[in-house]
Amino acid sequence: MNQQDGRVALVAGAASGIGAAVARRLGAEGARVFCADLDFAGARATAAGLAGATALPLDVRLEESWRAAFDAVLSAAGPPHVFVNSVGISAASPLADTTLEEWRRVLSVNLDGAFLGTKHALRAMAAGGAIVHVGSASGLRPAAGAAAYATSKAGLRMLVRAAAKECREAGRNVRVNLVSPAGVKTPMWRAMPFFQELVRTTGSEDAAYAALSASGGGPFAEPDEIARVICFLASDAAAHVTGADVPADDGFVL
């Protein structure tokens, strides 16, 4: 469709999962994509499959890392038109057993990282653009054992709305939106002890996803299915959409 011809895009979390799918789709639509991730080898692998793409190291918890990433984009290609933040981690423990260290670890990546990314994207987008964050249905409908994750995604919803309102009232041509999936088949699940146990019990990741779906989680999406929604919000087709939280959850939160 070439909806992103001539545009510059920075995708945070591009090494795997939704972020990698977004980078590939933006590249296919004509964007020059910068693939950023703490997993630099993974970011390089994603970039290697895209014409003209560049990999960047990025630790979303550190402001200097965000500054360096956007400086690299500005130096190589000029102001970005699209910024997608798909970085996220989770934790799976009852609230009473969650340590302060674990709580802060999740919030520092999911919420502090989103704040820093938004801040530096706004500074870099001199000519306007589109910012899209990846949220979660857990920001509206929390699950037991994931309080830190749910809180971070609920906070992200308000960050997106506040940023969109600031841009609108300042007359800045930057749209800020959120896409909130339910279950998506991404590597994040592999870090959760309960999912690891479910894989051992059922015999495979696919069987584990099926078991979660059958227990009320609903169907699990493929990363590219969520990437399509994100890329819509980053395109001119969504020119009048800002401050929105777009669910991509098969009605999970209804």
Residues classed as catalytic:
149
Rg of the chain's alpha carbons, rounded to an integer? 17
Smallest CA-to-CA distance from 58 within 69, 50, 47, 49 is with 69
Instruction: Please enumerate in sequence order all residues whose Cβ is within 8 A of that of 28, keeping only pairs 6 or more positions apart, or say none.
Output: none
Q: Is the CA virtual torsion 10, 36, 157, 230 positive or negative?
A: positive
In the sheet that holds 174-181, the strands lie side by side as 54-57, 32-37, 8-12, 82-85, 129-134, 174-181, 245-248
Task: Tell me if 90 sits within 8 A of 190, measured CB to CB.
Answer: no
Q: How far apart are CA 110 and CA 201, in angstroms?
A: 30
The single-letter DSSP state of residue 220 is: P
In terms of Cβ atoms closer than 10 Å to its own Cβ (0-12, 13-18, 19+), residue 26 is buried
Question: DSSP H helical segments within 178-240, as ranges?
Answer: 193-202, 205-212, 223-233
In the three-class reduction of DSSP (H, G, I as helix; E, B as strand; rest coil), residue 161 is classed as helix
DSSP code string of 62-121: -HHHHHHHHHHHHHHH-S-SEEEE-------S-GGG--HHHHHHHHIIIIIHHHHHHHHH
